[in-house]
Amino acid sequence: MLDDTVQQLRGILKKDLPEVLQFTKLKSLTVCVVPRAKVNYNQNQLLFKSTVHTVASQLFGFNDGTDFIIRHTDTRTTHRDRAGYGGNGDLPYRGITKNTCTISNYVKGKNILLIDDLYSKSINIDEDAIQALIEKGANRVFFYAIGRTVRK
């Protein structure tokens, strides 16, 4: 099942990323990934990041920056917290990315495409990561999510 999902994700990224680049009217984008909430994961839990890395490395006009944001302190996820499975650490708050991640100096002056697996309107971790990249010197930051949460 994971192999099928990875193949679907590759197909989505190979189709969408060139369209995003065209939309920006830029010649290239450096691809970063919003980090997972925990520091340590097994290989299966890192398939999203590794798939983004693989596709970004294969597409013209994209530079791999998937290791430019590295989590060093666990956080809780808001969407899972409601069900009692949020994890350890603090919930997302303004500045959490700078406090819980190391952001590479290589973002300075770059046009960044920040990718996340899921966008939730009520959760501000994506916006916080964008702000952290800008404060670290990124030229521009564009955001792309594979999916979004929906209310029942």
Strand order in the sheet with 140-148: 62-64, 29-33, 111-119, 140-148
The pLDDT, as a whole number, for residue 124 is: 74
pLDDT band with cut points at 50, 70 and 90 for residue 151 = low
Tell me the per-residue pLDDT of 61-106, one tens digit each, with 9 for 90 and over. Answer: 999 999 999 998 888 776 666 666 667 777 777 788 888 899 999 9
The DSSP string of 2-32 is: HHHHHHHHHHHHHHHHHHHHHHHT-S-EEEE
φ, ψ for residue 65 (rounded to 5)?
-130, 30
Integer Cα distance of 109 and 66 in angstroms = 16
The residue behind tokens 């209310």 is: 151
Considering the entire predicted model, what is its pTM?
Answer: 0.88
Q: Which domains are delineated in the chain?
A: 2-148 (3.40.50.2020)
